[in-house]
Amino acid sequence: MMSLNLLLVEDDAVFAQGLADELRGFDHAVTVAADGREALAAVDSVPFDAVVLDRMLPKVDGMSVLARLRGSNMTLPVIMLTALGRSVEKVEGLEAGADDYVVKPIAAAELNARLLAMVRGRRWTAGSSDTIRAGDIVVSPTRFRAWRAGTAIDLGKLEFKLLAEFVANADTVMTRAMLIERVWGYDFAPTTNIVDVYVRHLRVKLTAAGGEDPILTVRGVGYMLRG
């Protein structure tokens, strides 16, 4: 059974707690957000596998949350779970970018099945995933965000590009020439040790987020990120 990291966005505290407990019974981790603003902040800081999104929310409504996610090219899978079940409302939700639209009430077992099917479908579609992973490191290329063991890592643009290359090629030795071409865009080796400097910065930030240094130095060749 696949375990997911879920965001449940629901302003009815009693309903949210009950549904969250049921989803945890399927071995999922569940974070609950009570309004749209809280949901957007959570999505920006945590690498969720999917979102269960109510449509009628305070502060920022569900449709606006969905619009912001899709407007920023975020491919995070979203199931809209709402009491609004007219055909026109379902069409609106799906056209706005929801992957599925479910009307309350729904059995937790059915919601779980829909979540698993939705996430599996995304993972089987090449290039559609919002995140790439290597070990406990997660990178979201569309959001320019990275996490280690769930802790957000504050990276500059080039540091992020360097980490993304390492994660995408985990357990593969990357030569300095390859990194210079892919990260800096040079087709020649600069006279400075720019790669080594940035790898050093990256190591400091990765270890500060938790765990041992995951970047292995391959003498005379380059570097490799342990997957």
Q: Could you identify the residue written with the tokens 């997957």?
A: 227
* Residues near 104 by beta carbon (within 8 Å), at least 6 away in sequence: 81, 82, 83
CB 96 within 8 A of CB 84: no
| CATH H-level superfamily of 5-124 | Response regulator (3.40.50.2300)
How many C-beta atoms lie closer than 10 Å to residue 184's C-beta? 15
pLDDT score at 15: 95
| DSSP structure class, residue 226 | -
pLDDT in tens, 43-89: 988 888 899 999 999 999 999 999 998 887 777 889 999 988 888 88
- Identical fold for domains 5-124 and 132-225, yes or no, is no
**C-alpha to C-alpha distance for 134 and 146, rounded to whole angstroms:** 11
- Residue ranges of the chain whose pLDDT lies below 50: 124-128
pLDDT score at 128: 44
Architecture of domain 132-225: Orthogonal Bundle (1.10)
**C-alpha to C-alpha distance for 152 and 92, rounded to whole angstroms:** 34
pLDDT score at 18: 96
Q: What would you measure as the largest C-alpha separation in the chain, in angstroms?
A: 65
Mean pLDDT, all residues of the chain: 87
pTM: 0.65
Q: Where are the domains of the chain?
A: 5-124, 132-225
CB 144 within 8 A of CB 74: no
